[in-house]
Structure 1
Amino acid sequence: AVDCLQRLHLVLAASKSPRRLDARLVELLQAVLCSPKCPEQIQLLCAAILREMAPCDGLRLSCHRIHDTKLLSLVSSVLLAQVSGLTRQAAVSAVGQRVVKALEGRLPEGQSSRYLLPVLSNVISLSPEALTEEQINVVSKKMADWLRYASTQQGVAQPSGGFFSNPRTRQPGPVTEVDGAIATDFFTVLSLGQHYTEDQWLNMQTFSMLRKWLLCYGGKEMNTPNSGDKSEMDRSAMSVVSTSSTSSRLLPPRERLREKAFEYCQRLIEQSNRQALKKADGDLQKACLIEAVTIMDIICKQDSSYVYRAASFLKILHGRINGDATYARALLPIAQFFLNHGEMAAVDCDAIYKHLFTDIPAQLFHNSSLAFEFVLFCKDNSRLFTETSSIFRQRFPNLFKFLAWNSPPLIAEFVDILPFLLDVGTAIEIFHLLLDLPCLTAALDVQMRSSSLPSAERAACDPAVKPATCLEAFRNPLYRSAFHSLHLSCRVLSSQLVMLCKLRPALVVELSKELLEFSGTVSNIQNKEPIFTHVVWAIGEYMSVSYDKRCTVEQINRFFETLEAVLFEVTQVRPQASVPNYAPRAITVLMTALTKLAARSQDLIPRVSLFLSKMRTFVQSPAVTSVYCEEDREEILTRATELMNLLKMPSVAQFVFTPSVDVAHTRFQKEVNDTLPSALRIVTRLLEPAPGFVPG
């Protein structure tokens, strides 16, 4: 019989189209299901088949006269699977009434409430209106007790009934924590034992449906005469008074459930700090932590008097787990809590949001489940991206790392949040981010392959050896900045900046404030080297009265001082300090831009000449030779020599670097790949007495 029923269930479950069974067979299935002498396995199979048949016209089942909780659970599951149309509300309500009545009364010996809670959870999912106000309060009171007062002693193993079974079993010991220590506080889902008691099972089931119950009923006030007159101060005072168990029992059922739920979540968060002995327990810790923070957030929405306690608690939690990648998913509900309550709690949350939108996409872009949850988090909080000053809006380009690695599964979710990211100020940037997705994917792939190499192999990299593959280039300190640039900016705009300035040279003067700020930030040389180099080149090329009559000597001097400070910082060799690995091209472009600006404001020529004369000392210092290869050092020194020799003839330098508009496109004025025009090299050969000679 079992084999036949299993086959029938498999056929029905695998069928896409509705299947009909003979009416007589349906009657037999119902009769067998309700038979008190039928084996449990047969009952389970009958219930599963009837659920697959839904909706079934020949169903005659009713839950009103059933007293066995296991059978009530099976019959209720069949009835709830049938509900549809106009009878839905009445059918769900009937099941809900019967289940609550069974929970409210005293069950006969051998019966268990834990078979009914899953049914109740299903009822409120289908129709929250199925329960009356009185029933909601009854269940809330029961749930509060199950959460807080479950036994802390392990359950007794059920005797097998075999020949060797011993009626005198050992007394059960206390439950333990995940790290093996004996639990000294109340029982939770993270308390471990060999066997569990009835109230411990109810404790775990209650927690599993707690979020759903609070969302459905936790925020509604009791329908009592003076419920609308109770002020926020009264509720806050009641919450403080209710810290003792005696006064807690005097609270209305829903408020008492909130209090016990809050304490339960606090206990779970404390338990998550223990080192689990088993991986499965560690995974359970993380899942419970996420659920606990989410429930705390719901409770604080329903009763603001909990906000201050929760905020300080979660701030400490964030500081504990933000450096552990295995807890990354828990950072999302923590951030959600502070988005909802941070202002009321007067907590500075910028560091939390900055870490979430900067470090998580950079380090965990390959975690597909986290990527999906992260994008859903952004979708749920899409309004925050419309606030210009918010960290969310400033950091949104990092989200494209998730898209680059996890598309196409994330495309639909990204399409949903794009309207909130797009405006006049971000449209071009997003367009380029989308164009650069293949490049970003390639860079992320190299990063992943590099991180999977053995540590010894990752460390073994000779900067002087030109890399043969992308993976070697990523590990090479001289080339890695290109990958970082691709991660952080990932712009095609940088390569188009030259063309843009050629079409409209006046942009350099019009955007002088923004360009000064960007070019004066030393970190941009490493983080955004391509666009930094093009910006500096554009400043040196087009900050001239030849291209814009609005250009003044004061502006030229300001740009000179800014770039001079940057080049000084880049080339400063400090004792007992490692030299940062800046791209040689950035250094040569900085020297060239300074020389161009000095040629247009000739009072600056002595300053830049003195600076250039010190470049030989810079490239020959041991700290620099350990970082830059000979070819790069030679490139820097050669450019310094050419520029300094050219400045010895200011009028020639002015002609080369500050052409009139009518000769700006002659062959002497074109720079290819950021090298100087041929006129510069001609002057250098004429003035230089010996190859490589640099005065001073």
Structure 2
Amino acid sequence: MFTVLSVGQHYSPDQFLNMQVFSMMRGWLHKHQSKNGESASMALLVDKMCEYCLRLLDQCERKAVVQQDAELQQACLTEVILLLDTMCQQNSSLIPRVFPSIKRVYNRIQNSPASSINIINILQFLLHHSDAVMYDMGPALQHFFLKILDKQCIDQSLAFEATLFCLENMENLCNNTSVLRKFFPCLLKVFAWQPKTLLAEFVDLLPTMVSEETAIEVLHCLLDLPVITAAMETVMRVEQRGSLTVTDLSPEAVAQSTPELVYSDPLHRPLFNFILRAEGGLGDTIDRLKVLHDILQDYSTLPRVVVCSQAAPVLLRVYLQTVEQEASVDLLARLFPVLLERSCLLFPIKTFQTEVKRVLSEALVWVVQTAPGLLIDNRQEVQELMSSPRNFTGREDVFLHLAWAVGEYMSVTYDRRCTPDIISQYYEGVECLLYELSVSQLGRTETPLQHRARLTAVLMTALAKLATRCQDLMPRVLLCLTKITQQLPASGSQDPGDAVLLARAPVLINLCRMPNVAPLLSSLPAETDDNSKLHQDQNSSSCLLLQLTQAVMKQSQQ
């Protein structure tokens, strides 16, 4: 039987027609699929075409003499697999006839790097028809992600085809397998190497990787995407230049060595192995992540690393939107301390750190809004973070949002465990921070002026709100706010933010002098269900009420 793999020097018109028909057959089948019914002539054509394709599969097993023949075999194999897949989808009676041949081809090429694209096509065939023959897809998918994609993730064509395969079969892979949740580190390595090309695809693919079990590990991987890119650059350069013989580098030697040299050190190789792992479930992160950041810092300006750092916040927002829609209280309880910890542990790229911290600070707000009790469960970590203005430098957005959340949600309205003792603990921490910020030079030297005024305003408001929920704190907050007001003009600062603080302090002081009214004006109403009989006037304004309160207080003093 003549086939497209029957290579010769001259071809007859019938043989040329044979090649043309083979190249057009898949298009004919797709067009025929849209029509109802099947004619006898079409059934005969499909039967003969199936026989022709099986013959081609046999020919592809023969060893090619020259490179050109090998390339022709790969191209024909691709078309044959796709063609057989189409025919089996249209006529399921062909599956028992075709499946053994496809399985034999898979067993032959599964370890061949040159056949990686055809392995994806075979996986597509197996996904479509494995149920008909009771075939377990698990080992084949695991082999592909661990042995093929992980080893060749820098191959552009393979990366694109693998991503497309996951997208097209996303529902099937999510419902019938766990590969997207199990091998998400491998997929994120694919993205880390080609972030600009695959960003749109991974925006759609990322939510399928997130579950209750994987959410925290996925978050760490997203925050470490530039680190993954830099580590992949290191491994690629070592493979190109050859491994170096290094043993037990001292910390001083590590600081002066190139990433390639450190990678060759057996003591530091596990850091790279973990960050470049292909399978999830081995641990969320590592204790020596800061060490790895220092090792790879020289690569922070590489174009690929910079592009990845720009794309990572986009995926981080997609991740947080996914978690926000489906997260349980248990997941939020595990997520909250990670957000606090990682806000100061990011790869040293300034624009990347700024954008990620902004995203994390926004996430902290909705996490606390959803589960206010986390401020009680994690009060030691929160109070430690807010214990000094030094912690403010470098993560201003996180600090400001957290201070606002403490003032807003540390209330028995949101959690019955919020006792006066806990409120007093938070109050003392905020009060000490406010005093230190206002009277020491530390607040003016290490904290930028534009942030210092904003932080002072947020802390003053949080302090007043906490005091309104514990009447014993009212005298202290009045004294504190009065001192802050007196110290601002004495400092002689030209900061325009001081004018704002001078205007806000009297409002808060007058509010705290009315203990019966202050809790109502200083707290947002808790969320109610749709059947609640409470009425909220959308035209009301807390600012207007505060101004009215201030006016009443002035009249009473006259």
TM-score band by shorter chain is 0.3 to 0.5
The structure that has the greater radius of gyration is 1
- The TM-score normalised by the length of structure 2 is 0.47
Which structure would you say has the larger RCO, counting Cα contacts within 8 Å and 6 or more residues apart? 2
- The TM-score normalised by the length of structure 1 is 0.38
